[in-house]
A and B are shown apart, each in its own frame.
Chain A
Amino acid sequence: MYSKKISVKNPTGLHARPASDFVAAAAEYKSSVTLKRAGEDDEYNAKSIVMLLALGLEQGEEAILTAEGDDETEAVEVLASLVERFAE
């Protein structure tokens, strides 16, 4: 299992277009990928657009990105940098 803290910087938060891009990218990995809001326990399947919408991360929030499986490190690193890039 490999985790990393991410913070959402783009004004629209992690829904709409960014959420779609994130889910599409997460689906590329064999590992299971989850997100949870920093300080909370509920884990959300990050390959599911519906779960990501339900999580509803807004600008300025922090979340823990976790992957578990053969390609867990790569999954977390690539997805974390994707979130960074949303802010640009």
Chain B
Amino acid sequence: MKLFGNPVSRGIVIGEVMRYEPFKAVPSSSRIGEAEVDASLELYDKAIGMAMAELEETRSGLAERAPDKAKILAAHAEMLSDPVINDEVRRAVRSDLIPADAALAMVFDKYSDLLGKSKNAAMRERASDLQDVKNRILRCWAGRREKNLSLLDRPVIVVCGDLYPSDTVSLDRNNVLGIIARTGGSTSHTAIIARGYEIPAVLGVPDCMERLNDGDIVVLDAENGEVVIAPDDEERAACEVRASQVVTELREMEQWRCVKPVTRDGRRIWVGMNIADINDEELEHAAYSDGSGLFRTEFVHICRAGMPSEDEQYRIYRRALEAFGGKPVLMRTVDIGGDKQMERFGLPKEDNPFLGLRGLRLCFAQPELFAAQIRAALRASVHGDLRIMLPMVGSMEEIERAGAFITEQGALLDARGMDWNREVEIGIMIEIPSMALIADMAARKVDFASIGTNDLCQYLNAADRLNSAVESCYQEYHPAMFRIIGNVARAFAAAGKSVSICGEMAGDPLAIPALIGLGIEKLSMNAASIAQAKRVICGLDMSAVSELAREVQNLETASEVRELLQSFAASRAKRGGKAQA
């Protein structure tokens, strides 16, 4: 039997299924009788004991590999044995006859609400730790084992509804063979992470959670977007042959990594790498990229237990800059919001988070957080070519306000007698259509811009990129996308300012020719896409891509655009070519 979905990250693997679903607790709602009090408290003690044992075990496994994570778990153990919480739970069970699971949910919620209202950002964050501890106890109460993607004891293919950034930052990369998810298009977090880690993935498989059980053996074919359940010997053999073909192909592709990306008629295209983790594995790719066109700094925040201090951020930014040795690094200031990440910051849930308090808007609402980041960035700016890039800019006032804010922070550093680069460039992300339409005005005010095609696409098409029900409306190849990108490229070229693309489209081999034809000469993408992108670029002629760009803007539908891009790519591929360093 086969399941089908979108292949978002290349490769073919065979392996064992591990279903990953976060536990959803449903505490009892009825009261208990006097006679049941002791039994309920006994269950409570047992759940606490199990939770503590789990924490200790995980923590000892992490102490050396991931001291940061181990520290969070130590804090969780403290909360688990908190005497005030324990007393309150017991009292609620004994005197109010509330079952212990409901009582503990109530007490933990009470304190997490209390901390969530704190003025101090670090304290608000502890509210989500309390929620984590509560969920752990309730899961133990239900007798369910922990399933965690950061510590796997054998290689598995992960099957899930969706993955959140918090799941993916801790992903055990050596043991995740592949990913199958119910939701997610090619620009979902899961897709971006899978490509970044070079893990084969098929997303948007509607009934994967119903059809696949723990321990099932499946072939995950992310070349064709298929999942073969319980493959027979023949299917297994075919899978192994094709898997090794794909490996060979990918290896051949790798030779293009170090090639200089120049079109056949000599136009040098800037190919940068998107970065987020700032670890050795990621930074080793800096050598064959022209810089970083997108440094997603929010991952630095999501990964850590507490909000990283100014000094800590400074060290991370400095490390990134030094890894690129003088090549430009476009540091995007924290772009939190839009999804689950909000919980960590203790912010209220919103009905339309993608249209809500996110990116620069959130930074203005939390000036403390923004100020520390800006100061850290300015301090780091003397160690390389750092450029500050503001996300989610929708108006000229916001550009003005952010500029003033940055100047203010610079003055603070002066007062402290600290060194920073006064020439540091400040630019914006163009992802809100309003900004794309007044790109000519923005170009006069800022030093550069980068088009975030993922968000631009969802705002332009009014289609939530994480909602699979409107996936068909989320059209990256919509002719309007090419028109609006062309508009931004022209405006910035006229002002003599730099413009790049850093969304998923920048690494899409089909889209690259048209984007270059529109006048975009800087592309920043995941490390895994660089080789292929360079290969595509080296096969292009400027006159042909200009013509292609004109045509895509005048087609009526996304599928017509796709067909044209595909036939263009096929005509280039026929001509072939070898990688030349």
Contacts and interface: CB of A to CB of B under 8 A. Distances in A.
Interface of A: 12-13, 15-16, 20, 23, 45, 47-51, 53-54, 56, 58
Contacts of A12: 122
A48 B122 CA distance: 18
Given A20-B75, A53-B115, A54-B115, A47 B83 contact: yes
A31 B528 CA distance: 60
Nearest to A11: B309
A51 B84 contact: yes
A32 to B, nearest CB: 10
Contacts of A13: 120
Interface of chain B, main secondary structure: helix
A58 B85 contact: no
Given A15-B120, A53-B126, 5 more contacts: A15-B126, A45-B83, A48-B85, A50-B82, A50-B115
B306 A16 contact: yes
Contacts of A56: 118, 120, 123
B82 A15 contact: no
A47 B118 CA distance: 20
Interface in B74-98: 74-75, 78-79, 82-85
Contacts of A48: 82-85
Contacts of A15: 120, 122-123, 126
B523 interface: no
B237 interface: no
B130 A50 contact: yes
Interface string B125-142: 010001000000000000
Nearest to B130: A50
B114 interface: yes
A44 to B, nearest CB: 9
Nearest to A51: B84
Contacts of A20: 74-75, 78
Given A48-B83, A50-B82, A58 B120 contact: yes
Interface residues of B, number: 18
B118 A49 contact: no
Contacts of A23: 78
Contacts of A45: 83-84
Nearest to A54: B114
A5 B488 CA distance: 63
29 contacts: A13-B120, A15-B120, A15-B122, A16-B122, A20-B74, A20-B75, A45-B83, A47-B83, A47-B84, A48-B82, A48-B83, A48-B84, A49-B78, A49-B79, A49-B82, A50-B79, A50-B82, A50-B84, A50-B85, A50-B115, A51-B82, A51-B84, A53-B123, A53-B126, A54-B111, A54-B114, A54-B115, A56-B120, A56-B123
A56 B116 CA distance: 12
Ranked nearest first, the 6 interchain pairs of A and B with the lowest CB-CB distance are A48-B84, A49-B78, A50-B82, A48-B82, A45-B84, A50-B111
A51 B82 CA distance: 9
* From B74, B84, B85, B114, residue with most partner A Cβ within 10 Å: B84
Interface in B56-80: 74-75, 78-79
Contacts of B118: 56
B260 to A, nearest CB: 49
Contacts of B82: 48-51
Contacts of B78: 20, 23, 49
B530 to A, nearest CB: 40
B563 to A, nearest CB: 57
A47 B130 CA distance: 17
Contacts of B114: 54
B108 to A, nearest CB: 9
A11 B300 CA distance: 22
B133 to A, nearest CB: 10
B99 to A, nearest CB: 22
B416 to A, nearest CB: 14
Nearest to B111: A50
